[in-house]
Amino acid sequence: GLLLWLSGGAIDLLDEHYWQPPWLGLAEDGFRSSGMVLVVMGCLQVMRQVCDVYGQMATQAMSDELTRLPNRRYFRQMLNEQWLPGSAMLMIDLDHFKRINDDGGHDVGDRVLQDFARLLHAQCPAGGWVARLGGEEFAMLLRGDADEALRIAEAIRAAAAASRTVDDVQYSASIGLAVWQQGEAVGEMMRRADQALYRA
Just list the catalytic residues.
136
Q: How far is CA 189 from CA 10, 91, 123, 158, 181, in A?
A: 70, 11, 21, 24, 8
Beta partners for 89? 141, 178
Q: Rounded to a whole number, what is the distance in angstroms from the first to the last CA of the chain?
A: 66
CA dist 93 and 97 (Å) reads 9
- At residue 171, the 3 state secondary structure works out as coil
CA dist 174 and 194 (Å) reads 11
Beta partners for 170? 164
- At residue 175, the 3 state secondary structure works out as strand
Q: How far is CA 106 from CA 63, 95, 103, 173, in A?
A: 20, 16, 9, 18
Cβ proximity of 73 and 61 under 8 Å? yes
Which among 172, 168, 177 has a CA at the least distance from the CA of 136?
172
